[in-house]
Amino acid sequence: MNEYTYIKEQDDAIYQALMGEELREQRGIELIPSENYASKAVREANGSVFTNKYSEGYPGKRYYGGQQFTDVIETLAIERAKQLFKAKYANVQPLGGAAANVAMYFALMEPGDTVLGMDLSHGGHLTHGHPTTAINKVFNFVRYKMKDVDTGEIDYDHLRQMALEHKPKIILAGFSAYSRELDYAKFVEIAKEVGAYTVADIAHITGLIAGGVLKNPFDYGFDVMTMTTHKSLRGPRGGMIVVREDAELAKRIDKAVFPGMQGGPHMNVIAAKAVAFQEALHPNFKEYAVQILKNAKAMEAVFKKEGIRLLCGGTDNHLLLADVYGSLGITGKEAEMVLDEVGITLNKNMIADEPRTAMDPSGIRFGTPAMTTRGMKEAEATKLAELMIATMRAKDDAEAKIAIQKEVQALCEAFPVPERFV
Of 225, 218, 210, residue with least CA distance to 287: 210
For the segment 296-326, what is each residue's pLDDT rounded down to a tens digit? 999 999 999 999 999 999 999 999 999 999 9
Compute the distance between CA of residue 59 and CA of residue 142 in angstroms, rounded to an integer. 37
Q: What is the largest CA-CA distance in the chain?
A: 63
From the candidates 201, 223, 254, 323, which is the catalytic residue? 201
The residues facing 90 across adjacent strands are 242
Secondary structure (3-state) at 224: strand
**In the predicted model, is pLDDT for residue 131 greater than 90?**
no
Please give the pLDDT value at position 253.
Answer: 98
Contact, 172 vs 116, CB < 8 A?
yes
Residue 259 is classified by DSSP as I
Please give the pLDDT value at position 66.
Answer: 97
pLDDT bin (cut points 50, 70, 90) of residue 1 is: low
- Sign, CA dihedral 40-45-51-57, equals negative
Residue 245 known to be catalytic: no
For the segment 240-266, what is each residue's pLDDT rounded down to a tens digit? 999 999 999 999 999 999 999 999 999
Half-sphere exposure of 39 (CA within 13 A, CB side): 19
Residue 237 known to be catalytic: yes
**In the predicted model, is pLDDT for residue 132 greater than 90?**
no
**361-366 average pLDDT score:** 97
For the segment 15-55, what is each residue's pLDDT rounded down to a tens digit? 999 999 999 999 999 999 999 999 999 999 999 999 999 99
**10-16 average pLDDT score:** 97
From the candidates 54, 113, 286, 345, which is the catalytic residue? 54
**In the predicted model, is pLDDT for residue 117 greater than 70?**
yes
Of 202, 271, 177, 272, residue with least CA distance to 234: 272
Compute the distance between CA of residue 374 and CA of residue 174 in angstroms, rounded to an integer. 27
Compute the distance between CA of residue 357 and CA of residue 110 in angstroms, rounded to an integer. 34
Compute the distance between CA of residue 177 and CA of residue 3 in angstroms, rounded to an integer. 36
What stretches of 307-351 adopt beta strand conformation (E)? 319-323, 344-345, 347-349
**In the predicted model, is pLDDT for residue 193 greater than 80?**
yes
**78-99 average pLDDT score:** 97
Residue 30 known to be catalytic: no
Residue 419 known to be catalytic: no
From the candidates 22, 25, 56, 407, which is the catalytic residue? 56
From the candidates 114, 127, 226, 228, which is the catalytic residue? 228
% of the chain exceeding 90 in pLDDT: 92
Domains of the chain in start order, with CATH, are 44-281 (3.40.640.10), 284-414 (3.90.1150.10)
From the candidates 180, 231, 244, 348, which is the catalytic residue? 231
Report pTM.
Answer: 0.96
- How does the average pLDDT of the chain come out, rounded? 96
Phi and psi at residue 258, to the nearest 5°: -140, 125
